[in-house]
Structure 1
Amino acid sequence: MHATPDRLSMPYRDCVGIALFNAQGSVFIGRRMPETDPEDTAETDAPWQMPQGGIDKGEDALKAALRELHEETNVTSVSLLAEAPEWIYYDLPDAALGIALKGKYRGQRQRWFAFAFTGADTEIDVETPGGGTFKVEFDAWRWERLSRTPQLIVPFKKDAYEKVVAAFADIPQRLKRA
């Protein structure tokens, strides 16, 4: 058992999240690989999520979103649809504080982007993204209704996903009409 750090003295990690929509208005979700890294224990029960990742120091958030999407899914054929109007936050549960996210952060502060996927499903490769040059994050993927994603995510991220759903709620209908 570890001593729980002072949550309020810890920063949030700046990250991006990506809602990748297909032409039918569904979003990409990936099933998280069972974690072998003890620092990532907070996410061991997270079965499905949308792509997300850290913003490198000095990196533009949109560039980070495109980079993370490619690193996790192999996808590069996209067009920007929208950016969530504000940062979306989530906090780690107490049991993961000081362990997950390398033990440095209380949670994440995320910029969310919605992209239209303009390629074919065969472009998506979660098993060897970037031809095998990137760390594998997902062991499976599927298209899902955006409104269902809060029920599929690890519980401590549910509120954040509800904000993502609200920010991009109009996109599925826009795409179906296009």
Structure 2
Amino acid sequence: MSPADDYPDHRPNVGVVLFHPDGRVWLGRRAGTDPPHNWQFPQGGVDPGEALEDAARRELHEETGVTSATLLGRTDGWIAYDFPALIAAELRRGWKGQKQVWFAFRFDGEEAEFDLAAHGEPEFDAWRWDYLAAAPGLIVPFKRAAYEQVARAFAPFAAPAPGQG
């Protein structure tokens, strides 16, 4: 079985951690989602035949407006999570969950480049720079283990959070 065959019941997806040059990361507040677990990184599906890095760049642009980004790294293999039972069947679209390859990019542009409505209905209604170590505590609980894996994988690119040393 090839890595592409891993998690056949999970939708292929990419995630993006966008690093500020100072090592903080971009987090978006999901539009229409109640706090406290409503902050996340850009992510989205992979179109048929689309290369994973191309999908990551497309999702980054669609959800944030950003095109000025340099690749820093990516995760090896898929990071998967299951949808909780509370997610309606029409939102699952037949999938058990999602499998993701994550990409780390450094933001090389000006902050005026951010446009949350770059492609129609915004995914996010606000954004901020924060520390990578904070991200797992800000995401919905069913994605937390995936975010913890991403935080470990991309820790070499991250600024330490205050008090982390």
TM over 0.5: yes
How far 1:96 moved relative to its partner? 1.7
Q: 1:29 to 1:168 in 2, by over 3 A?
A: same
TM-score (norm 1): 0.80
Shift of 1:100: 2.6
Equivalent of 1:163, from 138, 149, 157?
149
What are structure 2's unaligned runs of at least 5 residues? 1-7, 160-165
Q: 1:111 to 1:61 in 2, by over 3 A?
A: same
Partner of residue 92 from structure 1, selected from 83, 91, 99: 83
8 Å Cα contact 1:74-1:125 kept in structure 2: yes
Alignment of 1:15-164 (within 5 A): 15-34=13-32, 46-96=37-87, 98-101=89-92, 103-126=93-116, 128-129=117-118, 133-164=119-150
After superposition, what is the alpha-carbon deviation per residue over 1:52-100, rounded to whole angstroms, capped at 9, x for unaligned? Answer: 0000011000000000000000000000000111211011112226243
Native 8 Å contact 2:40 2:138 kept in 1: yes
Q: Which amino acid counterpart does residue 136 of structure 1 have in structure 2? A: P
Q: Secondary structure of 1:31's match? A: strand
| Aligned length, in residue pairs | 153
Q: Distance in 1 between matches of 2:36 and 2:88?
A: 16
Equivalent pair of 2:79/2:101 in contact (CA under 8 Å): yes
SS at match of 1:169: helix
- C-alpha separation in 2, matches of 1:45 and 1:53: 22
- Gap runs ≥5 in structure 1: 1-9, 36-42, 174-178
Q: Indicate conservation of the 8 Å contact 1:30/1:51, yes or no.
A: yes
User: What's the TM-score, normalizing by structure 2?
Assistant: 0.86
- Runs of 4+ with >4 A deviation: 43-46
Preserved CA contact (<8 Å) 1:34 1:44:
no
Q: Secondary structure at the match of 2:129?
A: strand
Please report how far the alpha carbon of residue 104 of structure 1 lies from its aligned counterpart in structure 2 after TM superposition.
Answer: 1.4
